[in-house]
Structure 1
């Protein structure tokens, strides 16, 4: 009996390790695909739309002054192109935040929080380290995804009017905290803690991504009200 139990436990451990490896491969491939698609949208579609705008401007400049209907139609086309360009830019940003890769965590997070505050008319503050955090790209991506998830939760569930985003960085680990003053976790948010809520796949996937990096993601109600989403990632020993 003990031998069978040990064999079952060993098989379960192997399956668990295999599933972790598979998840790691899937999320890495997913990130790479999103990054490649965002760059294709920028390099191909974005460049073509910009060229169309320039050509339309040149044509509009050559229209006779007495052809007002044509000028009005050209203005409508120009406005439509600008809308498509902006939608393309937003899709690129949602797929992959190039600012995270080229300008770092501080710029990417600060701009995301500012844009969130302006778009949703919610007071959002960010507290970031004085120096740019130093961590592997895969950790920076997980931190960004957790921040995006936390802000999305605020608009979808919490009824919050204020959000604080805090990044703590030291030699051993990097930590992100997203705290709001809304309803908390259990009182209407519908985002359950560990082990519950089969519908919250976005949060559960982030929790597993944190685990793959040796970290921990938690969601809890703050003692003073509101919810706190946090992730702690240990830095590699070589850092």
Structure 2
């Protein structure tokens, strides 16, 4: 055995340990974000809704003086702004549609919103039935889509985006394709670089893989493939 063999084995074990640690950290991070989003919804959200109702009752009892009614209207508008900000914060922390409505709805709505916001033709091809995968897999699919769409707006210069999900018995695959300039044509920003690295490590932790490649006809394709867990024998 060569002298470098023990060092190579140690390096491989260390890399595996780091990958496992990063996967655990990401899982804990997801759980904390989910819990915080739920708290914002259950506590702050319900309190703001109650305040809106109380303000409506008080406004109905106010003397019909323009100055008082104008102040009540300003307070109502401010409350609505806070409610909407709270809703957006919840969504940024955790996409509850992924949990309550499923992968198909969460991915489809994200693609639709992206197209409307950026004026880019955005298409989404999904399985006819809801994919049967754990929440951890669904989160990686959603994060991959978010990073893929972020890359399109930051670097690709694309006018069209296609999001394709293929689901079979052994694995599930998501691809984000665009007709832009392709990977490597423009320098990647720090956020995008590390965003993709984090998603790649998430995929590796689940036994999958992620790749960003150029298309022969132009543009780029970000693909993540995740193996499905083997059902436990009863």
Q: What range is the shorter-chain TM-score in?
A: over 0.9
Distance in 1 of aligned mates of 2:43 and 2:121: 37
Distance in 2 of aligned mates of 1:96 and 1:141: 10
Question: Residue 231 of structure 1 corresponds to which residue in structure 2?
Answer: 224
Distance in 2 of aligned mates of 1:157 and 1:74: 46
Residue ranges of structure 1 left out of the alignment (5+ in a row): 192-196
Structure 1: 4+ residue segments shifted above 3 A: none
Cα RMSD, aligned residues only: 1.8
Q: Contact 1:183 / 1:189 at 8 angstroms: preserved in 2?
A: no
1:81-160 to structure 2, matched below 5 A, reads 81-160=79-158
1:61-76 to structure 2, matched below 5 A, reads 61-65=60-64, 67-76=65-74
Mean alpha-carbon deviation: is it higher for 155-164 or for 50-59?
A: 155-164
Q: Deviations over 1:43-102 (max 9, x none)?
A: 11111111111111111112222x112211211221121111111111111111111112
Distance in 2 of aligned mates of 1:157 and 1:136: 32
SS of corresponding position for 1:35: helix
SS of corresponding position for 1:94: helix
Mean alpha-carbon deviation: is it higher for 116-125 or for 86-95?
A: 116-125
Q: TM-score, normalised by structure 1?
A: 0.91
1:213 aligns with 2:206: yes
User: Would the alpha carbon gap of residues 198 and 142 (structure 1) be closer, same or farther in structure 2, given more than 3 Å must change?
Assistant: closer
1:23-42 to structure 2, matched below 5 A, reads 23-42=22-41
Residues matched between the structures, number: 232
Select the structure with the greater relative contact order (CA < 8 A; seq sep ≥ 6).
2
Residue ranges of structure 2 left out of the alignment (5+ in a row): none
Deviation at 1:10, TM superposition (A): 2.0
Distance in 2 of aligned mates of 1:123 and 1:89: 27
Q: Contact 2:144 / 2:224 at 8 angstroms: preserved in 1?
A: yes
Distance in 2 of aligned mates of 1:168 and 1:43: 35
Q: TM-score, normalised by structure 2?
A: 0.93
Deviation at 1:189, TM superposition (A): 5.6
